[in-house]
Amino acid sequence: MTTHRITDPRTAALHAATADQTWDLLVIGGGASGLGTAVEAATRGYSVLLLESHDYAKGTSSRSTKLVHGGVRYLAQGNVSLVREALHERGLLKQNAPHLVHDLGFLIAAYKWWAAPFYGIGLKMYDLLAGKLNLKASRYVNRAQALERTPTLKKAALKGGILYFDGQFDDARLAITLLRTLEDHGGVALNHAPVVGLIKDGGRITGARFRDLETGQEHAVRARAVVNATGVFVDDVRRMENPAVKPMLSPSQGVHVVVDRRFLPGDSAVMVPRTDDGRVLFAVPWHDHVVIGTTDTPLPETNVEPRALPEEVEFILKTAAQYLDPAPTRADVRSVYAGLRPLVKAAEGTDTKSLSRDHVIRISDGGLITLTGGKWTTYRRMGEDTVNRAAAQAGLPQRLSLTAGLKLHGAAAPDTHLADHWQVYGTDAAHIRALPGADTPLHPELPYTEAEVRWAARAEQARTAEDVLSRRLRALLLNARASIEAAPRVVAILAEELGRDAAWQAAQVQTYRELAGGYVLN
């Protein structure tokens, strides 16, 4: 084992985080809302520190349907303002991160004569709400055109359909891109650093204590404003201030299954506008695989590693079989993943599928600013609203938001000469391709190379096999079994880069095998 050649970025971040200073903003949570808030603050010139208990996008923010969208079903619920805001943000995100966001056609297949005109009218409204940032106009397609775009659609009774357009992205890669953007603008972020308590001064929240999981040491941080952006775990942080506080959230679980591209070989996604339980279901091409989901199952408690229930997987496969031929079976599932939605509590007896997906900001008596709800598409607006509130509360100098036009780290038009998995790095791809192992595959069934593991350690704060295989690369979601087989080589490269010993390597491989086993359908 060779000693690592460079100071890794997390070591530098830990040094900065423990320096003797008072930050303008301390953000707790490294998912969509926390990273969006931190980037917003840093680009306004405020000093900002972000602390993440596990890894960036470890929770819900890496477990989405991979869509940058306005929310067609929110339109059906009459929530026009939420849809308009999300469509506006969709357009901005495509402009600011063209290496991560691209247009995708969605086909609503019509098997009854009235279906195409019925959904066509609603989707024209969707186009209008997007205004000048609309991607492409929705349109009617006949039976032959529908089958040309999606050859595996069930043909019996197919009349045609409606084609509309939304955005698609890689959620965890957007999180890492925001981390890099934050660092580009002078912000500091630290993963594997859970907050273990809040610091009060005269009843006011003035900071937090965190534990560095790599050393076990605890550190105190002072800040003028503290933002709790921990997604489904916001109530845990709120209880650090007031153990008797009433919960804000009604968590709901959404499950997706991932199958081979042969089940959806065309150039479009499929959207089922109304499933048997009244939800929307998507089958979406993603990284040369297909993501199918999602469900909406209320859960009594949160878990950092939620697991799909057998009936959720059965529901997804049964619904897919109503529209696809051939349809995937349990034996075809490469990976199954579950994420928890941070839905804000509503009146007794309300279905979680009808709860608002809008974001909510609450400020406690002690000044703790809690941001929750929302979705990836509106992460930037969530951050803007939160920093406006935080700056006013902390008496920071008022500064205009710059993020609507901010190009994110690595922003570049897609390079059609590069394979799909290189596109997400944007301008960084050239640097990674110059590293050792750029042409050495990690596994024959995965698109990734050894150089990407080195880059993850050197530039993206990856510390564990899971950090690399689940979020820097998307191997765990694309093919869980293949990712388990690739883990020993990934761990060996990490050990070389980070200066770890053989015992660490053995423990990492075992830990990853246990984790990834939960993504395999037995």
Here the CATH number for the domain that contains residue 279 is 3.30.9.10
pTM: 0.96
446: domain CATH number? 1.10.8.870
Nearest Cα neighbor of 101 from 426, 515, 384 is 426
Answer yes or no: is 480 within a domain: yes
Q: Could you give the 3-state DSSP secondary structure of residue 72? A: helix
- Tell me the CB-side half-sphere exposure of residue 387, using CA atoms within 13 A: 31
Same domain, 74 and 111: yes
pLDDT for position 354: 44
Answer yes or no: is 256 within a domain: yes
Same domain, 341 and 361: no
Same domain, 158 and 280: yes
Domain total in the chain = 3
Answer yes or no: is 388 within a domain: yes
pLDDT in tens, 39-97: 999 999 999 999 999 999 999 999 999 999 988 878 777 788 889 999 999 999 999 99
Answer yes or no: is 411 within a domain: no
pLDDT in tens, 112-151: 999 999 999 999 999 999 999 999 999 999 999 999 999 9
Same domain, 449 and 507: yes
Answer yes or no: is 53 within a domain: yes
Task: State how far Cα 123 lies from the chain centre.
Answer: 26
Kindly report the number of other CB atoms within 10 A of residue 423's CB atom.
21
Per the structure block, which two tokens stand in for 262? 């042969």
For helices 115-130 and 80-96, what crossing angle results, to 10°? 60
Please give the backbone phi and psi of residue 111, each rounded to the nearest 5 degrees, phi first: -110, 0
pLDDT for position 357: 56
Per-residue DSSP letter, 498: H
Cis peptide before 326 (omega within 30 of 0): yes
pLDDT for position 346: 62
Mean pLDDT, rounded, of the chain: 94
Same domain, 162 and 181: no
Structural domain containing residue 193? 9-60+173-247+354-405
Same domain, 254 and 337: yes
Tell me which residues of the chain have a pLDDT lower than 70.
1-7, 346-357
Same domain, 77 and 110: yes
Please give the backbone phi and psi of residue 221, each rounded to the nearest 5 degrees, phi first: -130, 135
Same domain, 475 and 374: no
Q: Which residues contact 503 (CB under 8 A, 6 or more apart)?
A: none
Answer yes or no: is 75 within a domain: yes
Same domain, 344 and 358: no
